[in-house]
Amino acid sequence: MKASWIPAVLVAGIAAGSALAQLPEVQPQPAPKGTVAQSIDDATITTKVKEAIAADPLLKDVKVTVDTNNAVVILNGTAPAADVIARAVAVARAVPGVKSVTNVIGKPS
């Protein structure tokens, strides 16, 4: 009589295994925009743009702030000449993940 529970356990195990086998595969979904994931991406882009500007010999002494919102980079500050401003915009655009660059850099008065 003690061995009569074994077939019941086997049947339950087979039923559970076949039920699990029929479940669809779950694929990860991308995070919606405007979430923490987007903020992390924006922070990464901001850091990479700042690093790229600092590494450029023409731009290393220029005072520019960098902000990113939904992969749109905003450059703000002052630069001594139009070619320096254009170079800062070009460097920012070259960073992977940047959708566009808004330039608010001006020449000092």
What are the tens digits of pLDDT across the range 37-84? 666 699 999 999 999 999 999 997 788 999 999 999 999 999 999 999
pLDDT at 29: 56
Tokens at 109, concatenated: 């008065």
Tokens at 105, concatenated: 């850099």
pLDDT at 94: 95
pTM, full prediction:
0.65
Q: Which of 53, 52, 49, 74 is nearest to 63 (CA)?
A: 53
pLDDT at 86: 94
CATH number of 34-109: 3.30.1340
Query: Which phi and psi angles does 66 have, rounded to 5°?
Result: -125, 130
pLDDT at 11: 60
